[in-house]
Amino acid sequence: MKIVVCLKQVPDTEANIKIGSDQKSVVEAGMKFIINPFDEFAIEEALKKREAGTAESITVVAMGPERTRDALRSSLELEVNEALHLVTEDDCIDGLAVAKVLAEQIKSMDYGLILMGKEAIDDGNMQVGPMLGELLGIPCISLATRIDIEGDKVTVKRNTDSGVEILESPLPCIITCEKGLNEPRYPSIRGKMKAKKMEIPQQNISLGTAGVEKISMTYPEARSGGRVIGEGPDAVAELVRVLKEEAQVI
């Protein structure tokens, strides 16, 4: 069985986000980019399945501008088998438009399992996985914290907001990965050396008409300056009074 991992490159979690003069774009100069943290769980899980012999190969697919190559290179350093770059300079915030591009690409590939993060931390859309399942006509199980493959069946554990579910699905299917699934590894020296020599094929793509149009971006209102009530247990009575009478939250 072959695994396809979908990956997105995103600004580092520490990055300061500066809105460009057009009010729509983000100033990228000097910004550090990383593999979307949830996609790292997807890569790690794919590597584990290959080590366990349930998967024979891993293909990583990423859509995005030129800089996305760096994220794909990082995935090659982890020794995935191949990486494919779908190139677009379009900062696409329309989840369905992205899912359609991925579906078109993956449809003709040989895969038994598609893994990806539960969401990209830049747009926070949490849309593409389930949409892709719908478009490819295969099941999608979201937010996995455990994935066990046996033959052509996969068992997934996940935490919903009302409890814990164990779900079973035939392959092929899509699974989106949640924190807790595994601990992503660091690349080895060998992996780094190997990745240097590997090609990353690029393919230009165009996004269909997007139904979501960005009008503007603004910064959220800064919270007004806080107040230190006092020090130590002596301040507690005043804190409780303030919460009751001023803030009226308890």
Ligand X SMILES: Cc1cc2nc3c(=O)[nH]c(=O)nc-3n(C[C@H](O)[C@H](O)[C@H](O)COP(=O)(O)OP(=O)(O)OC[C@H]3O[C@@H](n4cnc5c(N)ncnc54)[C@H](O)[C@@H]3O)c2cc1C
177 binds another protein (CB under 8 A): no
Kindly tell me which residue out of 13, 160, 204, 218 binds ligand X, with binding defined by CB under 6 A: 13
- Tokens 């295969």, residue located: 138
Which one of ligand X, another protein, none is in contact with 207 (Cβ closer than 5 to 8 A by kind)? none
In the complex, what is the shortest distance from the CB of residue 94 to another protein, in angstroms, rounded to a whole number?
7
Give residue number: closest CB to ligand X: 13
Residues 41-80 that bind another protein (CB under 8 A): none
Kindly tell me which residue out of 19, 198, 200, 207 binds another protein, with binding defined by CB under 8 A: 19
248 binds ligand X (CB under 6 A): no
Cβ pair 20, 31 in contact under 8 A: no
Cβ pair 86, 144 in contact under 8 A: no
State the DSSP H helix or E strand holding residue 42, giving kind and residue range, or none if neither. Answer: helix 37-51
Cβ pair 177, 42 in contact under 8 A: yes
Kindly tell me which residue out of 11, 15, 19, 37 binds ligand X, with binding defined by CB under 6 A: 37
- Give Cα 73 to chain centroid, integer Å: 16
Please state whether beta strands 9-11 and 33-35 pair in parallel, antiparallel, or not at all (unpaired). antiparallel
Residue 43's nearest CA partner among 109, 116, 111 is: 116
Nearer to another protein, 189 or 249 (CB): 249
Write out the residues near ligand X by the rule CB under 6 A. 13, 37
